[in-house]
Amino acid sequence: MQAIRFSRRLGGELHMARSGAKRPAIDAALVKAIAAGLLGGLVATVVLDVIVVGLFPFIGMPADSSFSVIGDTAAEFFSMLDIEMAGGVPLGLLVHYLTGLSLGGLFGAVRSWRGLGLDSKKNGVGQGILYTEVISIPILATAPIMLQMSAPGAAQWFGVVFVMHGVYGSVLAFVVSRLQV
């Protein structure tokens, strides 16, 4: 029986070589992991935004203030590259969702590497929080620098964002761990 399996596998590889067909360049498991991460990133970003929009008015902040800060920071960054664009909420929403999706896809890919031992469902939420907090530091540090925030403003920014990204990381890891096998 084993000889038959080997023969079929070898025959398939010889057929691929004769026909000029190539092996897939990307492993299907990696594609599935990235897709799970993208979906997890989208769900986590939506959950984060629902909480932000609902919570910020209760703490005396405009509901769209985080999007405004993100958009203004992105516009300031692009102006350094001589690309002028309006900042504010629309650009902030775009950048926020693109970042959420991208970081989610990257998380899915990183979790799929079996050799790192990161594919455990038991400690996945902790990994999601740690991943999000660590990878967000350089991204989040740009707002106080580019917008020249005061020290209290920067402290408030980091405090709120730290908590909210913990929520993002939890939801991201929960969704990804449920979708990955």
Per residue in 48-82, pLDDT tens? 999 989 988 888 888 888 888 889 989 998 888 89
* 0.85 exceeded by pTM: no
Positive or negative CA dihedral for 7, 12, 13, 17? positive
CA distances from 60 to 54, 64, 65, 163 (A): 11, 12, 11, 17
> How does pLDDT run across 96-110, given as a tens digit for each residue?
999 999 999 999 988
Cα separation, 40 vs 44, whole angstroms: 6
Q: Which of 48, 49, 34, 162 is closest to 104 using CA atoms?
A: 34
DSSP string, 2-35: HHHHHHHHHHHHHHHHHHT----SS-HHHHHHHH
